[in-house]
């Protein structure tokens, strides 16, 4: 298994990227070749400093980096030798089977879309973002790869999300829900009602409209929405969790007794933080492009990067893309 | 000040409604007349059981109730004598200046829209939902009154939300943000970009695009979005907070030491729960209709109902609607 990693992507690159690679090489022996793409001198120094075994590594020089504030489309077109472009090129050329990046999400999506193209029949690729819930993980798709919205795109998100939940998540018959403003069948906008009809007519295990609380409480495996809604929901959920912890910390620190109490129950806070953290999930697959592309969180730790590499390896191993191709063809052939 | 209350609205009606009314009559002497609209026998029994002073009260019989699962449009049209219809009629006839309901949100919005009509120049009414943040309260508008979306409607939400934040929230020059997928000016869909241009050209204190984390961390007073997005965001934030507390509780209960610790820091949990609870905010105003309409949470406690009545009283006192009319006229007259 050959994976290209954007060594310069993320707030703590290349340090955390290399740290994650080190852990992944030990944990996932199926990874036989790992391309570290970025500024050669900096990557080499980090590899040496963290003492990575060199057998499976190959450093590929890329002198440019797409910065977080840049326009994705412009940066991908102009910075030909940026780490995300060079890493994606390795997938295009067949040298690697997957690309992993914690850098500029828009740039990673644009590079993958332009260079790898979509799988046959796929209108738009979508990011499937894992959200922990009471029953395991719910995949929110699209989390912001595509700001267009046509009903068929959301049907295809449902199909691709299902394939991913089944083959990587190990869910037998993934339940697909449609994000809406009420659970009754007739709730929603004209747009979501059209999507509802498509999902209902499909071969998917469609459970109908879902609302915010279903994200965490219902046994739903795939939640479909357009990229604008998905991105806003995801960031709002993340922000709420962060605010809750911050406010709790502030309140706890306001008296010595509360501080003592919190010390005793520290393990509980840690457990919930771990459970709700993206670290454990590591990466969100961009589903629909002809080559595996995993988007990691910008502030990824080494552990998060390790898990993003796991997601890449599992996507290759379980042949997510061939399965998507098959299911999309089946859906397009349906009467 | 004369207010009509839907005594049958909400999961714990009429008990909590009457409980809230009792508290409000003590706290807000400016309320001179309070219409309790609902099943006369049940309301009377509750009023007697909770020993409400009768001087300012008037029970108005309404034999029907709009149930939570019903279609709003159908229910409002067919159940002429439902509590929400009769309560809204009291505002239409001028007997009351505001209606407050914790019942079916869609029905309350439909009744207000059909019976009271919009203020001159207002295209669509929007629900301004208060979200507590680090700097006070941020009003998310529209939280789901209107599932249509035209750019001018969102400009008007900004105007109406600003008026509300200024005159009821006491914010001098309310900052208005546009919910989007990135903070840069060029981020968003074609739709949000059109809204961006309108907001930027307006006389509002527009601070640009905002993201999820800004809801809690930025000093933004009004966040504008379409009703679908607002509803989904609001419910997702509420669901995240609920899930965090539930998971924490579960983890805390798993060992005796953690349980003891949590007992010691109990006050901190309570403080954050209070801060993040809708109880303290009580109600979300439906802005733009010709008559004050306050939507309370379906599971409102007596305290939440009391605060919903406060919001109604303050909206009347600070002449929110005449101010909205003025500002909308000013915006429509702008070159």
Q: What is the pLDDT of residues A15-47, one digit of tens each?
A: 999 999 999 999 999 999 999 999 999 999 999
Q: Establish if A136 touches chain B: CB-CB under 8 angstroms.
A: no
The answer to whether A72 contacts chain B (CB < 8 Å) is no
Q: In the predicted model, is pLDDT for residue A288 greater than 90? A: yes
Judge: B211–A232 Cβ closer than 8 Å, yes or no: yes
Q: Is A299 on the interface with B (CB under 8 A)?
A: no
Question: Does position B276 have pLDDT exceeding 90, yes or no?
Answer: no
Three-class secondary structure of residue B62 per DSSP: coil
d(CA B181, CA B101): 33
pLDDT at A282 exceeding the cut of 90:
no
Residues 147-166 of chain B with CB under 8 A from chain A are 147
Sign of the dihedral through C-alpha B174, B179, B183, B189: negative
| pLDDT tens, residue by residue, B188-205 | 999 999 999 999 999 999
What are the respective helix, strand and coil percentages of chain B, to the nearest 5?
A: 50, 20, 30
- pLDDT at site A270: 87
Whether B284 has a pLDDT exceeding 80, the answer reads: yes
A8-17, A191-200, B238-247: least confident range:
B238-247
pLDDT in tens, B215-237: 988 899 999 999 999 999 999 99
Count CB neighbours of B10 within 10 A.
Answer: 26
**A175-184, A212-221, B174-183, B278-287: least confident range:** B278-287
pLDDT for A273 beyond 90: no
Give the pLDDT confidence score for residue B275 in this predicted structure.
77
Distance of CA B257 to the CA centre of its chain: 41
Q: Tell me which chain B residues have a C-beta less than 8 angstroms from the C-beta of A134.
A: 243
Over pLDDT 70: what percentage of chain A? 99
Alpha-carbon gap: B57 to the closest alpha carbon of chain A (Å): 35
Interface contact A263, partner B, CB < 8 A? yes
CA angle A259, A264, A268 (to 5 degrees): 105
Would you call A265 and B261 a contact, using CB atoms and an 8 Å cutoff?
yes
Is the pLDDT assigned to residue A148 strictly greater than 90? no
Distance CA A101, CA A293 (A): 8
> Does domain B1-122+288-335 bear CATH number 3.40.50.150?
no
Global confidence as pTM = 0.94
Over range B126-153, report the average pLDDT.
93
Mean pLDDT in residue range A302-321: 96
The answer to whether B228 faces chain A, any CB pair under 8 Å, is: yes
Q: Where are the domains of chain B?
A: 1-122+288-335, 130-280
Within 13 A of B300's CA, how many CA atoms are on the CB side? 38
Mean of the per-residue pLDDT values of chain A: 94
Res. A244 pLDDT band, cuts 50 70 90: confident
The CATH code of the domain at A1-122+288-317 is 3.40.718.10
CATH of domain B130-280: 3.40.718.10
Burial B149-185 (b: 16+ CB within 10 A, else e): bebebbbbbbbbbbbbbbbbbebeebbbbbbbbbbee
B275 touches chain A (CB under 8 A): yes
Rounded to whole angstroms, the Cα distance separating A84 from A65 reads 8
- Average pLDDT over chain B reads 94
Region of poorest pLDDT, from B88-102, B151-165, B276-290: B276-290
pLDDT given for residue A213 in this prediction: 86
């Amino acid at each position: 298994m050959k994976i290209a990693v954007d060594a310069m992507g993320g707030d703590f690159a290349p340090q955390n990227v290399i740290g994650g690679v080190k852990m992944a090489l030990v944990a996932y022996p199926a990874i036989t070749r790992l391309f570290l793409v970025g500024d050669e001198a900096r990557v080499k120094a980090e590899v040496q400093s963290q003492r990575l075994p060199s057998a499976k590594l190959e450093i590929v020089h890329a002198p440019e980096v797409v910065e977080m504030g840049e326009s994705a489309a412009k940066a991908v077109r102009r910075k030909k030798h940026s780490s995300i472009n060079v890493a994606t090129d390795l997938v295009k050329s067949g040298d690697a089977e997957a690309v992993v990046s914690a850098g500029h999400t828009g740039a990673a999506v644009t590079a993958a879309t332009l260079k790898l193209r979509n799988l046959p029949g796929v209108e738009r690729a979508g990011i499937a973002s894992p959200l922990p819930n009471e029953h395991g993980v719910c995949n929110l798709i699209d989390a912001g790869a595509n700001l267009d919205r046509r009903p068929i795109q959301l049907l295809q998100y449902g199909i691709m999300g299902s394939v991913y939940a089944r083959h990587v998540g190990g869910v037998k018959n993934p339940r697909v829900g449609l994000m809406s403003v009420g659970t009754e069948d007739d709730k929603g906008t004209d747009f979501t009602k059209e999507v509802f009809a498509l999902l209902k007519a499909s071969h998917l295990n469609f459970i109908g409209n879902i609302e915010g609380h279903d994200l965490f409480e219902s046994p739903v495996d795939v939640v479909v929405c357009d990229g604008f809604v998905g991105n806003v929901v995801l960031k709002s959920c993340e922000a709420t969790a962060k605010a809750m912890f911050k406010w709790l910390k502030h309140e706890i620190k306001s008296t010595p007794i509360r501080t003592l109490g919190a010390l005793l129950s520290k393990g509980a806070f840690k457990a919930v933080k771990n459970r709700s953290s993206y670290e454990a999930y590591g990466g969100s697959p961009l589903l629909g492009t002809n080559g595996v592309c995993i988007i990691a969180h910008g502030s990824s730790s080494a552990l998060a990067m390790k898990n993003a590499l796991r997601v890449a390896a599992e996507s290759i191993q379980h042949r997510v893309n061939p399965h998507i191709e098959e299911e999309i063809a089946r859906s397009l052939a349906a009467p």
